[in-house]
A and B are shown apart, each in its own frame.
Chain A
Amino acid sequence: MTDFIAKAAAATIVVFARAVTAVRAIWSEEGLPSRPCIYFANHSSHGDFVLVWAVLPPRLRRQARPVAGAEYWLKSPLTRFIGSDVFNAVLIARDRDKRTEDPVAQMTSAIDAGSSLILFPEGTRNQSDARLLPFKSGIFHLATARPDIELVPVWINNLNRVMPKGEIVPIPLICTVTFGGALRIQPDETKDAFLERMQTALLALSPKPAGSGE
């Protein structure tokens, strides 16, 4: 029963997201990896993973699990239901001192079980004027632990304008989700070099800001 409600809720959320944003995917020429992979995206809104999830083809969507902060998603029964049951999120504790489980271990075990991950390496929602915040090192440790896994950069455009932080009514605006070509960690690549390369690959997908034509 919970499963049925969760599926219905997921479908409703996706329909709503599509109705508001008319979201459109822009695929990379090489297509998406058919094996489980890591989609890593810019983060500016709680709806980010919903958009990525909504545009993925159904087969890939079923195996994709968002990685999200446990503090936020376990706060209330409703967010817990949406986080765990509807989207089957891998919930990681952000607070280093309070956590009982290692986030990287949680993510690798999800990958080993055949899931793809939707990851936001900035670690938190970007409220600044910068296009991207510096990546946290989790994605590096994950890639080091599973060096064969492919990493797909995903740029989510405009969702921060649809629903800026603190607003409750979404503004209908057209959003796009752009997928880049798959990347891998290189042997002996340092943490800084890897994170730099991933950030550059993600930024390369971002279009010029809308409404900048003056």
Chain B
Amino acid sequence: MSAASSDLLTLVAGIFGVLILASAIGYVLQQRLSPTGSNASIENLNARIKAWWIMVILIGIAFVAGRIGVLILFGFCSFAALREFVTLINTRRADHWALAAAFFIVVPLQYYLLWAEQYGIFSIFIPVYAFLLMPIISVLRGDTERFLIRIAEVQWALMICVFCASHVPALLTLNIPGYEGRNVLLIAFLVIVVQLSDVLQYVWGKLFGRTKIAPKLSPSKTVEGFAGGVISATLIGAALWWITPFTPVQAGLLAFVITLMGFFGGLVMSAIKRDRGIKDWGNLIEGHGGLIDRLDSVVFSAPIFFHIVRYWWSL
């Protein structure tokens, strides 16, 4: 067995252990406090844990399937996230072809470029080509009503849901000396640290949260939750150094950066939800809301993580 797959196996065993523990706690809480399903927070907690099992298993299958599995998984995530985003933006009939192009050309092409390992065009395809061509497709219909808002929102949707999200599987294309064949573990590191940071912020906040950190944006986020979550996720990141090409200190620093990006990404996406008068982005994942609700922090941290690793570690 190669080092990569034995590390992956250890990691999966660890994650399953955590999930089994979480399910056991959820079960005991339900038996004690909510035997009839009357306590909404406990029911939501259990729905979330159940959804985590499914997400972990899906990611696990993608990892086993290799590069193509990971690309397909994140390609579908981009598609579903874009669908949630575009549902909430201002579009008019004149944008029909531009939107069709976004879903059926831009998404597949962005992931195809990763498959073909064409990093140059991958990194500018959406910020340059889609940015220029999408408004051209829209303008051909001659509808100027709210034109700037419409094209800006579509571009934002593409940047967040496709461009930024595709930087998670882009980690597979990095060529790090001494780390060959193990890049999938970088994805695991990013996703585990960011998602655990979200979960730990929630847990610390529920246990000790007193002071609201951004009452206008997200009434459930507290200073105590933020500090506890970021510190504990940073420590967990440092403790996961063995799956990365980093030293423990470097792993901790990177974990710190991505948890911060994840936190602020969550705030930005909350602000958009407030603006549109909704609570969740969708209903795809039971207990969590939409896919973007779960992915927002990963999306904000992935490009930064990618570029830091690419600049300092990759050839």
- A contacts, CB < 8 Å to B: 22, 24, 158, 161, 164, 167, 169, 171-174, 208, 210-211, 213-214
Contacts and interface: CB of A to CB of B under 8 A. Distances in A.
B89 A211 contact: yes
A169 B104 contact: yes
Interface in B206-249: none
Interface of chain A, main secondary structure: loop
B95 to A, nearest CB: 9
B277 interface: yes
B88 A211 contact: yes
Contacts of A171: 86, 96, 99-100, 103
B83 interface: yes
Interface string B80-98: 1011101111110100110
Contact of B277 (A167, A169, A213): A213
Given A22-B83, A174-B83, A174-B87, A211 B282 contact: no
A208 B276 CA distance: 10
A86 B17 CA distance: 48
A22 B277 contact: no
B85 to A, nearest CB: 10
B277 A161 contact: no
B86 A173 contact: yes
Interface in B82-132: 82-84, 86-91, 93, 96-97, 99-100, 103-104
Interface string B169-180: 000000000000
Interface in B43-99: 79-80, 82-84, 86-91, 93, 96-97, 99
Nearest to A208: B277
A173 B100 CA distance: 11
A162 to B, nearest CB: 10
B87 A173 contact: yes
A172 B83 contact: yes
B188 to A, nearest CB: 28
B283 A24 contact: yes
Nearest to B98: A171
A211 B96 contact: no
Contacts of B82: 172
Contacts of B104: 169
Nearest to A26: B283
Return the 9 tightest CB-CB contacts between A and B, nearest first: A211-B90, A213-B276, A174-B87, A172-B83, A169-B100, A171-B99, A173-B87, A164-B93, A213-B275
